[in-house]
Amino acid sequence: MLSGIYSTKMSLKTFLFPLPNISLQIGSHKPLNIYEPRYLQMVEDSINQEIPISLVFAKTQFEVGDQEIPHEIFHFIKPITGLGHPRMISRNIDGSVIIMLPGEYKGRITKVLKSDTPYIICEYEKIEEVQKLRNENILLLRNLQLELEEWISKSIDLTDQRDILRTELSEAGRIVGLYTEFIVMNPEARQKVLEMDNINEKIHFLALNG
């Protein structure tokens, strides 16, 4: 059973964007090219109604703990998800758009709502994570930061983009989120990090499996 420290039991609404083997890490930003009409509408509705989008780890086969969804391809999702409010980057001539979806916070999908919209609307509970860093993990975190900085220097061509990423390495949550997004290649491992509720647990996992 997945567990978390829930800040509220109030029903909150989110729009679901199911993608295979993809998760949205807290503290990271995911650029997305949206071209399918139902998800173009979803993005517009999210911006206009200020309702967050959940980028969920979608699957075709069930595992214990999965949530069933009414989708023609992906019938199940991992219920722990990253959520954020999309920012429009560009609108293309072919009608598609490029958005930036930030991992603003984490939630657990609790219920699929009936709706006449072409995309899936769900209820979720927000999860608050333990962010207090233990002293014995300061060095481990610093090692992750150094590895991430090296990756940024080698992999990001534009100086402005490198500088922006480096400014985000000022607190533990962002370091862990960006490290998981850029360095961890296994999608199941990325999702596992997302599902952890304690920053210290995440740091130990990344130090051993990054």
- Pairwise CA distance, residues 177 & 134, whole Å: 18
pLDDT digits (tens, 9 = 90+) for 44-66: 999 999 999 999 999 999 999 99
Using CA atoms, how far residue 58 sits from 63, 73, 137, 159, 193, in Å, is 12, 9, 32, 34, 16
For the chain, the average pLDDT equals 90
pTM above 0.85, yes or no: yes
Q: Report how far residue 100's alpha carbon sits from residue 118's, in angstroms, rounded to the nearest whole number.
A: 22
pLDDT in tens, 5-42: 434 456 699 999 999 999 999 999 999 999 999 999 99
**Tokens read off for 206:** 């990344």
At residue 210, the pLDDT reads: 64
Mean pLDDT of 72-96: 96
> Does residue 74 surpass a pLDDT of 60?
yes
| Separation of alpha carbons 110 and 41, rounded Å | 23
* Domains in the chain: boundaries: 5-128, 135-209
139 or 7, higher pLDDT = 139
The answer to whether the CB of 124 falls within 8 A of the CB of 81 is yes
3-state secondary structure of 4: coil
pLDDT in tens, 99-129: 999 999 999 999 999 777 899 999 999 999 9
Q: Which amino acid is at 40?
A: L
DSSP, res 53: E
Round to whole Å and give the CA distance between 45 and 15. 9
Judge: domain 5-128, CATH 2.60.40.3880.
no
Maximum distance among all alpha carbons in the chain? 53
